[in-house]
Amino acid sequence: MTRGREKPIPGLPTTAAAVKQALAGRASPARATASRRFFKCGPGEYGEGDRFIGVTVPQQREVARTFAALPLAACRELLASSVHEHRLTAVLILVRQFQRGGEADRGRIFRLLLGARRALDNWDLVDTAAPHIFGAYLFDHPSERPRFERFLSSPRLWDRRIAILTAGGLGRAGVPELLLDLAARSLADPHDLMHKAVGWMLREAGKRDPALLRAFLDRHAAQMPRTMLRYAIERLPAKDRMAYLSAGRSR
C-alpha cells in the first residue's frame, strides 16, 4: 500500500462533533458502567474520574476508519474531551494517519500527541499511542530519546508507561537498547501497571531475540517484581520459568 492521506468519504463532515455523534449512536449505558469498573475509575483508583459512554473498541475502530481523514485540529479537540471513547478514537485516527503519512505528516502528528499527552491517561490510550506513534517516530529521530528517558522519572504513572511502551515500540523495530535501559531503571517502580508493562515489553523483545531476554533476566531476575518477572518469562520453557521464578523476588 502506498503512503498518503486518507481520502474523505464524500459528504461526510470532518469535524470532532461528527465523530462524537457517530460514537453516541453506538453508546450503551450498561457498557459504560462496566467500562468504568474495568478501567478503575472509582475514587482513589488509577482511572479516577474518567467518563465512558459505552462504545466497544471494535466500534471505535469502525468510526476511526470512517473518519480516517479527520483534520488534526479536530483530533486535538477530541483529545481534549472528558469522554474516554472520544480520546481513544482520536488516537486510533492519528495512528492510521501516522502510518500512512509522509515525514512532515508524521512530525505533525508526533508533536500534536506529545503536546496532548495528558489525554493519554489510562493504559489502553498509552498502549495504542506510544509504540505506534512515539516509538515509530524515535526510530527515525533518535535525538528525541532523552525526552522519553525523562518521562521515566515522572511522578505521573502514565508518563512512565509512555516511556516503556515507546521503548517497546523501538524494541519491536529491532532497536532494543532503550527498552533494556528503561526496564532496568524501572525495577523499583511501585506501580503494578508498570510491572506489567515492563514485563510485557521484555517478553515481546524476547520473541525477536531470546538471548537478549535471557541476558536481561540473568542479570536482573532477582530484583524484578514478581508480576514483571512473570510477564517477561511467559513464553519461556517451563524449566526456565521455574528457574527464574526461584531466583526472583517475592513481591
Res 13: pLDDT: 75
pLDDT tops 60 at residue 18: yes
pLDDT tops 50 at residue 105: yes
pLDDT per residue as tens digits for the range 175-232: 999 999 999 999 999 999 999 999 999 999 999 999 999 999 999 999 999 999 999 9
Res 172: pLDDT: 87
pLDDT per residue as tens digits for the range 119-159: 999 999 999 999 999 999 999 999 999 999 999 999 999 99
Res 247: pLDDT: 82
Res 4: pLDDT: 46
pLDDT per residue as tens digits for the range 61-104: 999 999 999 999 999 999 999 999 999 999 999 999 999 999 99
pLDDT tops 60 at residue 32: yes
Res 128: pLDDT: 97
State the DSSP string of the chain: ----PPPPPTT---SHHHHHHHHHTT--HHHHHHHHHHTT-STTSTTTT-B-----HHHHHHHHHHTTT--HHHHHHHHT-SBHHHHHHHHHHHHHHHHH--HHHHHHHHHHHHHTGGG--SHHHHHHHIIIIIIHHHHH-GGGHHHHHHHTT-SSHHHHHHHHHHHHHHHHTT--HHHHHHHHHTTT---HHHHHHHHHHHHHHHHH-HHHHHHHHHHHGGGS-HHHHHHHTTTS-HHHHHHHHHHS---
pLDDT tops 50 at residue 3: no
Q: What's the whole-number mean pLDDT along residues 97-115?
A: 96
Res 1: pLDDT: 34
Res 56: pLDDT: 98
